[in-house]
């Protein structure tokens, strides 16, 4: 079905899942950048870890790429901006290694506090240096947690068990939420001034590069100890080395470095510093979870499904309330494309009812995916759907209203000449089309549907049914709705098979029928 290029080792369970889905899994480890450019053409998916760099050049060479999957959290080795411009989805496995990273942070914290690696190395070299490697306790010390995300929270919970006092810096966390975790939120300068230990748990962004530099360290409490198991470059290694040499910083523990792999850093020569070669996610459990998760995300992306961990899709994280509406929104988009028969200048999407209380941007992407998927020969995804709309000159407007008159939730698409609306009905949440061109109906969306406009008088429905029967077309469902003015009527007919052009023309000639539209849903 699709060629999946895998350039680094991931769990066999993940590869087996992709093979079971019918995909060709092409494992090519140890590729040079030049070799990657040679083998990327023809690949529909690329799965990597941290050693492969996906540049704009790689994206351009992979003209068939649908998705790039990073079996891990960090994405600083992927040009996400270039991927987005090319309509390529970028996905990761953000929860696969959080427990391993948190545990490694605690291991580094303890190793630094008790000088375990240094004492171990000395003893192996024949030196009993018990007094030289005297450490400090964690109990009653203040731990400053920079970044109170998933990993930061796990570290805070574990540090609390050691009797540490907790403060944190995270501008994206509400103070009330921090208080629920028994953590005091402070600014970064205050955190550095009060902490005995600092652990870092932030993404590498332009704002966090060199977050801990000479200026920051100068404000730090004398004797502070820095632990970084996040991303290299967040701590300026030269500045940290100078602060350790001066004695202002008592020690540090780093698992990540600005350049990786590396065997050179000014920190490596300092006995007060503990280092490991990016082992934060290097557990069997984390690798298994990362491989399984990224395979699942790639499989969903190749199938055109909603991908929870897509990082370059606007509002990719759909709430549990919104997510069931994704298939409906995509179906409505595809049906509206057939109903409209051309590209409108504007497309209005209205969300009414309970779903209006939630972020509905992902539903708008689903509508566009369905709409353009039904009208374009090019692959359309959650990533490139807004770009396709802009390229075609379609202005997309979405509105929300928490009040709905007839339905608990309603999704309505409206253009200059046509409109369609749908909802989820019953305990099973079955999709229903409940309005077409302001005629109230109730019919499930189907792969083959007809919209027949007719006079509201006896005999018309029978003649339509007879003609379809004579053509060998079975009616599987039908709904009839009057116009708001009551002058005309509209039939929405679901058929067991497609209605050909000749049959549609004959229907249009039926006495009492004014227009016929064939709706073909391709999603």
| Catalytic residue set | 231, 260, 278
DSSP state letters, 188-223: HHHHHHH-SEEEE-----TTTTTSBSHHHHHTSPTT
Tell me which DSSP letter residue 42 carries.
Answer: T
DSSP state letters, 346-392: EEEEEEEEGGGGS--HHHHHHHHHHHHHTT-SS---TTTHHHHHHHT
| Residue 5 token pair | 């290029």
| Whole-Å CA distances, 325 to 366, 385, 409, 423, 465 | 9, 18, 10, 8, 32
Q: Give the distance, in angstroms, between the CA of residue 136 and the centroid of all CA atoms in the same chain.
A: 42
Helix (H) or strand (E) holding 180: helix 175-180
Let me know the angle formed at the C-alpha of 518 by 517 and 523, rounded to the nearest 5 degrees: 130
Which residue in this structure is represented by tokens 């109903």?
Answer: 339
Q: Where are the alpha helices (DSSP H) in 21-149?
A: 33-39, 56-61, 80-85, 98-114, 116-124
Sign of the CA dihedral running 493, 498, 503, 505: positive
Residue 286: helix, strand or coil by DSSP?
helix
Contact yes or no for 129/183 (Cβ under 8 A): no
CA distance 145 to 143: 6
Closest CA to 229 of 169, 276, 284: 276
């Amino acid at each position: 079905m699709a060629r999946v290029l895998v350039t680094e080792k991931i769990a066999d369970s993940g590869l087996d899942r992709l093979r079971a889905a019918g995909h060709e899994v092409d494992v090519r480890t140890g590729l040079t950048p030049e070799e990657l450019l040679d083998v990327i053409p023809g690949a529909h998916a690329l799965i990597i870890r941290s050693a492969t760099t996906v540049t704009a050049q790689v994206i351009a060479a992979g003209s068939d790429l649908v998705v790039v999957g990073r079996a891990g959290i960090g994405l600083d080795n992927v040009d996400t901006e270039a991927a987005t411009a090319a309509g390529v989805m970028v996905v990761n496995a953000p929860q696969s290694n959080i427990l391993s990273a948190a545990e490694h942070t605690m291991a580094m914290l303890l190793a630094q506090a008790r000088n375990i690696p240094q004492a171990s190395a000395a003893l192996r070299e024949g030196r009993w240096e018990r007094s030289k490697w005297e450490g400090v306790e964690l109990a009653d010390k203040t731990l400053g947690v920079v970044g109170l995300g998933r990993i930061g929270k796990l570290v805070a919970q574990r540090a609390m068990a050691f009797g540490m006092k907790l403060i944190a810096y995270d501008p994206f966390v509400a103070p009330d939420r921090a208080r629920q975790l028994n953590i005091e939120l402070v600014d970064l300068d205050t955190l550095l001034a009060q902490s005995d230990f600092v652990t870092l748990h932030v993404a590498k962004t332009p704002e966090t590069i060199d977050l801990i530099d000479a200026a920051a360290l100068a404000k730090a409490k004398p004797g502070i100890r820095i632990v970084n198991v996040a991303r290299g470059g967040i701590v300026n290694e030269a500045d940290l080395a100078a602060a350790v040499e001066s004695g202002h910083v008592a020690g540090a523990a780093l698992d990540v470095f600005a350049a990786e792999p590396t065997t050179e850093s000014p920190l490596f020569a300092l006995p007060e510093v503990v280092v490991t070669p990016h082992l934060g996610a290097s557990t069997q459990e984390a690798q298994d979870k990362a491989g399984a998760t990224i395979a699942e995300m790639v499989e969903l992306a190749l199938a055109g499904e909603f991908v929870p961990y897509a990082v370059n899709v606007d509002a990719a994280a759909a709430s549990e309330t919104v997510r069931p509406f994704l298939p409906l929104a995509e179906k409505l988009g595809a049906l509206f494309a057939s109903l409209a028969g051309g590209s409108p200048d504007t497309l209005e999407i209205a969300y009414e009812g309970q779903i209006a209380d939630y972020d509905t941007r992902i539903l708008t992407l689903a509508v566009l995916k369905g709409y353009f998927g039904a009208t374009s020969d090019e692959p359309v995804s959650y990533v490139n759907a807004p770009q396709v709309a802009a390229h075609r000159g379609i202005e997309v407007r979405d509105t929300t209203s928490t009040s709905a008159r007839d339905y608990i939730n309603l999704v309505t698409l409206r253009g200059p000449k046509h409109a369609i609306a749908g909802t989820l009905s019953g305990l099973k949440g079955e999709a229903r089309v409940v309005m077409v061109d302001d005629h109230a109906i109730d019919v499930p969306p189907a792969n083959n549907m007809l919209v027949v406009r007719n006079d509201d008088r006896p005999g018309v429905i029978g003649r339509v049914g007879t003609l379809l029967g004579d053509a060998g077309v079975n009616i599987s469902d039908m709904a009839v709705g009057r116009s708001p003015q009551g002058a005309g009527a509209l039939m929405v007919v679901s058929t067991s098979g497609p209605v050909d052009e000749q049959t549609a023309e004959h229907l249009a000639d039926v006495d009492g029928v004014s227009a016929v539209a064939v709706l073909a849903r391709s999603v």
